Amino acid sequence: MTHTERLIIRQLTLGDTGFIIELLNSPGWLKFIGDRNVHNTDDALNYLTNGPLKSYAEHGFGLYLVATKTDDTPIGMCGILKRATLNNPDIGYALLPGFAGMGYAYEMANAVLKHAQHDLKLPVISAITLPGNTSSVKLLGKLGLHNKGLFVAEDSKETLLLFQN
């Protein structure tokens, strides 16, 4: 899909189940994104089929796997989502805990944001995060997204912060 100086960003495949199980059960994912009940290979196949792969087919974008260029180690996910609860597509991202604090989150999110604006021609990109996720709030500001205030998602009744470019 795209790459940066240190990262390869590509579409997820059904071969990425092991990585999906690891990422979706990492402490940061569970705390800030939520339990998606992906605990085995069948769960991961279902998640990939009905999530990222379905999004690629329906929207032409979705969540992408992010791997290191040096050894192709999967370190996270980043991409553009189209949620029924938001007016505009939004950027989402997550890193495995061993790769946090190294600048990867900004590097991958910035590359995906540029792809969304320049290649996909998406004029408005949103982002949502829990108010207590200070790392995400800081990153969204660094990406040039502006805090538009509180947002309550109809499907979850959870109060989030809404950001837009």
Tell me the per-residue pLDDT of 56-68, one tens digit each, with 9 for 90 and over: 999 999 999 999 9
Tell me the per-residue pLDDT of 143-156, one tens digit each, with 9 for 90 and over: 999 999 999 977 77
CA dihedral over 129, 123, 109, 119, signed as positive or negative: positive
Q: What is the DSSP letter of 44?
A: H
In a domain, 52, yes or no: yes
**What residues contact residue 159 under an 8 Å CB cut-off, 6+ apart?**
131, 150, 151, 152
In a domain, 118, yes or no: yes
Q: What is the pLDDT of residue 157?
A: 79
Tell me the per-residue pLDDT of 2-36, one tens digit each, with 9 for 90 and over: 999 999 999 999 999 999 999 999 999 999 999 99
In a domain, 35, yes or no: yes
**What residues contact residue 5 under an 8 Å CB cut-off, 6+ apart?**
69, 107
In a domain, 159, yes or no: no
In a domain, 163, yes or no: no
Question: Whole domain around residue 87: which residue ranges?
Answer: 2-123
In a domain, 89, yes or no: yes
Q: CATH number of the domain that 92 lies in?
A: 3.40.630.30
Domain total of the chain = 1
